[in-house]
Structure 1
Amino acid sequence: MSSPVGMPKPICLIQNQQGRLSTCPEALEVLQCIRQPVVVVAIVGLYRTGKSYLMNCLAGKRTGFPLGSTVQANTKGIWMWCVPYPNRNDQTLVLLDTEGLGDVEKGNTQNDAWIFALAVLLSSTLVYNSMGTIDQDAMDKLHYVTELTERIKAKASPGDSAGGGLEDSTEYLRFFPSFVWTLRDFTLQLELDGRPITEDEYLENGLKLKKGDTPDVRLFNLPRKCIRFFFPTRKCFIFDRPTSRKNLHRLEQMEESELEPDFVEQANRFCNYIYRTSKEKTVPGGHVVTGHLLAKLVETYVETISSGKVPCLESAVLALAEMENAAAVEEAVACYGKLMEQRLSLPTESVPELLGVHAGCEKEALQVFMARAFKDDERRFQLKFMKTMDDRKEEYCRKNEQESTKRCQALLATLCVELEEKVRSGVYSRPNGHQQFVDDLKDVEERYHQEPKKGVMAEEALKQFLEGKEVVGKTILQSDTALSEKEKQMEEVRTQAEAARREQEVLRQRDAEREQKMRDRERSFEENMQQLKVKMEQDREQLLKEQKKMMDSRLAEQEALLNEGFQKEAQQMREEIQLLKEENAKVQEPSWLEKALNAMWKVTTLVFEGIAKSLESFLNRSESSGRSLPRPQQAPALPSSPAVAYCS
């Protein structure tokens, strides 16, 4: 199913039983069937704060996620509800409702931190739900955010079991979700220093740091720094109480008209904001996550946590890329096969005709591969695609020859029925019978040439047919009493010369076909290089866009810190900004693209003959037409690459 419109209610995605997290196969199956990009909205917060009600609102339902009406926490683990995205037909909205944090019945609160970390890892929008106001008590209850660097690694570092800390916060910006703080049962006036303020201004005021370096100040500042450094995109919503306390237990049964109008309006504003601003879930580099990929991320993270290790985003993405690139090859090859079956009618009249159909189908299949593949840095999977396409082309060429041979043999068998009957009845066993045999054989050959749609093996089949008649012809020739010995010798010489001419014609045709296939291989290589260049440029653009967003957030945070008088923290921002500038400069260098072309150059020259000449010709034409590409360095004989193992 492309969109899970038939999912009537939420199901458990991640179970939390006896302090152990595990995935639910049924929920993973639902996700694996979703081939659309997903927007993942997760909600976290203390138990009994009304998280589930907001998620039901986002699902457009009054009931779904259980609200509960007692002091006991209702949701355990993480529950999932996949619904069509409002006004986005090409996306699916995945809602994740997490168990309440701080449940006194748990005894062991270790899993609270993991639930919070998983919500951050899986979502594109994270909603933190709390009661009352943003004060120190609220910040103390949000201590899970201060543990994120201990629960999540951004980069794979051998020997490290935990994340980097606030000093590496830039790396987390690449994949952390946008942050929305919802304040329930809010009763204060939104005023500051006697002037009205917005909800967002109220949040930013609550995130201001204290000056000083005492333990109490550091403890005060830490959660605020984490929110500011990790979540540059922030939003706040306040909610009045939805109804009187005595009616809260039947909130699911109440009609919208029975609720407080202000609460209804606030809930609508919240939902509209989430619908309008939430982005597709992506991994670093900008690759969009589908439901299928989200299922793999869930499995990877939960298995890592269950094994006692810290989830590493870089490792998870690389594992995801390996799986997704293999699937991209399969999907592209399947697309090619389907298109060839639709467009190709065998046998073709010529090899170029078949190669033309192949080229069009391969180009579309390559687009399918490029659209799905990501982080194929060594071009192993693109090489596998190219090799598979070349093999499939040869299979179609062989099948084309077989179909042509069968058709030609059947045609010749039909055309020579009369000639065979004359041979059997001895019509040619008389004076001048050999000339009649030659004339009749020539007539068969002429009628054969007049028949259309014989295919690429027409000359080869005719050659073999005529070779099969040479023994009969010699016998008739030697028994023809009307011919002298000299005439018989001259006829044998003529027959041999004709056979040699036919052999040369077949060889010439074979040479021409080999040349046509080589040119097609060069065309295929050029097409792969062109589409790779386009994809690399798109990747570069996406990376620069990602880094600009990070740069803008860091510059804004640096300015805020300077205005608040925090020079040390502003200096940290300045250093991170400098690193981002250096990364930008590297990405914009021509060598960034050259590395990809070098990888492609090395692996293809190991497999395809003539590619070196093709690439040189391709680069020369690119330069002459003004489409200058960086020239790859000469490839070594056997580069150390995983592609070598594949090629061998």
Structure 2
Amino acid sequence: IVLILLSLSGSPSSYISNPLFPLCFSGFSLGSTVQSHTKGIWMWCFPHPQKTGHTLVLLDTEGLGDVEKGDNQNDCWIFALAILLSSTFVYNSMGPINQLAIDQLHYVTELTDRIRSRSSPDQDEVEDSDEFVRFFPDFVWVLRDFSLELKLNGEPISADEYLENSLKLKQGTGQRDKVKELNLPQLCIHKFFPKKKCFVFERPVHGRKVGQMESLQDQDLDSDFVEQVAEFCSYLFSSSKVKMLSGCIKVNGPRLKSLVVTYVNTICSGSLPCIENAVLALSQTENAAAVQKAIAHYDQQMNQKLQLPTETLQELLNVHRASEKEAIKIFMENSFKDVNQVVFSILTYFLLISTLKTELETKQEEFLKKNEQASSDRCLALLQDIFNPFEEDVKQGIYYKPGGYHLYVQKTRELKKKYYDEPRKGVQVMMVTCVFWGATDFIQTAE
């Protein structure tokens, strides 16, 4: 679950982020001067307080519109990254929602120029921005230092109703293009963020106490502010969803890391970040890892279940088939799939399985060679252990006496029987034995 807090310069989001993680040391430091305090995008991870097995990731961005930067391109990319990475997008501004506040959200009107959902949209048509809604986060607008009474036409309204009313399209009688330009941010917010929520916060403290916020306790803050922040945190904890990609693919920690690296590298290269390409890169990384995990499992199973040398070749092949079947199962469990457990496409599936089977065949060949070598080593060791003392007796002339030949033949048969009775000599028994008999003159003579 990824929450991102984005503010205009001078509207520090740390007032909001710190209550979300009260146990994490001192949280994010608070800026109380005219100089922007947070730089870049800061990340904070914490076990979800309500959802077991989930991690809450908080991303806090530098303030947008800082005059010290001099170039708003950086702000545009931070805004785009905030949209791409989050499941809940919290926009923090000060005061009421007026035309100025909406105009300051002009970044939302540039999203289609900063983000692509597909790698190759049809040449004859503009990429449909409706696709963005499938992966855009929920939108939460936080209004800090809000002092107005929530009323409309004399009737009390909720913060959500206030937001919806503020985002109504302007009905103008002037130039059509001017009215369309004024309404563009509202249109984009409605189009890209079908789920919207609004919270209003009163000033937490007054006067110079603002500069002491980090050291103040709840009892030092305005009671209404404390209550409003508690309601805000409760909503985020209970309503924020797991970050999803196209195909309803859930984003976990490693996937979030991969997305960050892919998007940032793409932006740094001068290209537009593309959702489809990021998912493709993610699938390639995870599927490659799944193949390696399957191979490692195959190796482990073969080493555990095989006692080399095997008595027969079939014994090894049986263990290979069982281990191969388990390895393919491990791959399927760990490969990159969409919500329907489909590995993207049939073609992709067969290519991956083919790659895995090729790797396993190579591993099988390695085990076959190990098995043959183990068999050769065991047979040779047995032959030498059994026949070396006999050879020494022959050299000492023990059998060069009357009746010695009969004893010699009898001993040879006994030693051969002993050798053949030894278990697990393996698949090379015939070849090694024949070579040994052929190279040993004293046994040939006995024959």
Structure 2 counterpart of 1:141: 104
Say whether 1:153 aligns with 2:116: yes
The equivalent position to 2:40 in structure 1, one of 77, 80, 94, is 77
Work out the CA distance in 2 between the residues paired with 1:338 and 1:87: 39
Which shows bigger deviation, 144-153 or 216-225? 216-225
CA contact (8 A) 1:433 1:476 kept: no
Q: For residues 252-263 of structure 1, what are the structure 2 equivalents within 5 Å? A: 252-263=214-225
Structure 1 counterpart of 2:136: 176
Q: What letter matches 2:366 in structure 1?
A: E
- 1:382-426 alpha-carbon deviations (Å, 9 max, x no partner): 322221111112212221222232122212222224532443345
- 1:193-252 alpha-carbon deviations (Å, 9 max, x no partner): 555444333333333335679224323432222122212232222222222243211111
Change (3 A) 1:474 1:104: closer
Structure 2 counterpart of 1:234: 196
Structure 1 residue 95 displacement after superposition: 1.9
- 1:152-198 alpha-carbon deviations (Å, 9 max, x no partner): 111223898xx946xx1222123222222222223344444555444
Say whether 1:280 aligns with 2:242: yes
Structure 2 counterpart of 1:266: 228
Change (3 A) 1:277 1:346: farther
Work out the CA distance in 2 between the residues paired with 1:258 and 1:351: 80
Work out the CA distance in 2 between the residues paired with 1:350 and 1:204: 77
Structure 2 counterpart of 1:391: 362
- 1:577-601 alpha-carbon deviations (Å, 9 max, x no partner): xxxxxxxxxxxxxxxxxxxxxxxxx
- 1:548-567 alpha-carbon deviations (Å, 9 max, x no partner): xxxxxxxxxxxxxxxxxxxx
Q: What letter matches 2:423 in structure 1?
A: P
Structure 1 residue 287 displacement after superposition: 3.5
Change (3 A) 1:476 1:107: closer
Structure 1 residue 472 displacement after superposition: 4.3
Structure 2 counterpart of 1:409: 380
- 1:289-348 alpha-carbon deviations (Å, 9 max, x no partner): 444443343333233333333222223332333333333333333343344444544333
Work out the CA distance in 2 between the residues paired with 1:87 and 1:463: 73
Change (3 A) 1:368 1:111: same
Q: For residues 215-364 of structure 1, what are the structure 2 equivalents within 5 Å? A: 215-364=177-326
Say whether 1:214 aligns with 2:176: yes
Change (3 A) 1:446 1:473: closer
Q: For residues 494-643 of structure 1, what are the structure 2 equivalents within 5 Å? A: none
| 3-state SS of 1:145 partner | helix
Structure 1 counterpart of 2:17: 55
Q: What letter matches 1:307 in structure 2?
A: S
Change (3 A) 1:359 1:473: closer
TM-score, normalised by the number of residues in structure 2:
0.84
Which shows bigger deviation, 253-262 or 188-197? 188-197
Between structures 1 and 2, the one with greater helix share: 1
Which shows bigger deviation, 128-137 or 337-346? 337-346
Structure 1 counterpart of 2:165: 205
- 1:588-642 alpha-carbon deviations (Å, 9 max, x no partner): xxxxxxxxxxxxxxxxxxxxxxxxxxxxxxxxxxxxxxxxxxxxxxxxxxxxxxx
Work out the CA distance in 2 between the residues paired with 1:139 and 1:265: 27
TM-score, normalised by the number of residues in structure 1:
0.60
Structure 2 counterpart of 1:543: none
Change (3 A) 1:62 1:360: same
| 3-state SS of 1:416 partner | helix
Work out the CA distance in 2 between the residues paired with 1:56 and 1:340: 52
| 3-state SS of 1:276 partner | helix
Say whether 1:108 aligns with 2:68: no
Structure 1 residue 467 displacement after superposition: 4.5
Which shows bigger deviation, 147-156 or 244-253? 244-253
CA contact (8 A) 2:87 2:241 kept: yes
Structure 1 residue 142 displacement after superposition: 1.0
Structure 1 residue 140 displacement after superposition: 1.3
Work out the CA distance in 2 between the residues paired with 1:194 and 1:181: 23
Work out the CA distance in 2 between the residues paired with 1:249 and 1:210: 39
Work out the CA distance in 2 between the residues paired with 1:72 and 1:460: 84
Q: For residues 359-438 of structure 1, what are the structure 2 equivalents within 5 Å? A: 359-374=321-336, 375=344, 377-378=347-348, 379-426=350-397, 437-438=408-409
Structure 2 counterpart of 1:443: 414
CA contact (8 A) 1:135 1:206 kept: yes
Change (3 A) 1:432 1:194: farther
- 1:100-151 alpha-carbon deviations (Å, 9 max, x no partner): 1122333322322111111111222211112223333321111111110011
CA contact (8 A) 2:301 2:323 kept: yes
Q: What letter matches 2:197 in structure 1?
A: K
- 1:62-119 alpha-carbon deviations (Å, 9 max, x no partner): 7332211112221222222233333556444332111111223333223221111111
| 3-state SS of 1:41 partner | strand
CA contact (8 A) 1:43 1:51 kept: yes
**Matched positions, count:** 434
CA contact (8 A) 1:153 1:164 kept: no
Work out the CA distance in 2 between the residues paired with 1:438 and 1:406: 27
| 3-state SS of 2:310 partner | coil
Work out the CA distance in 2 between the residues paired with 1:44 and 1:238: 16
Structure 1 residue 253 displacement after superposition: 0.7
| 3-state SS of 2:14 partner | helix
Work out the CA distance in 2 between the residues paired with 1:275 and 1:365: 39
Q: What letter matches 1:257 in structure 2?
A: Q
CA contact (8 A) 1:44 1:98 kept: yes
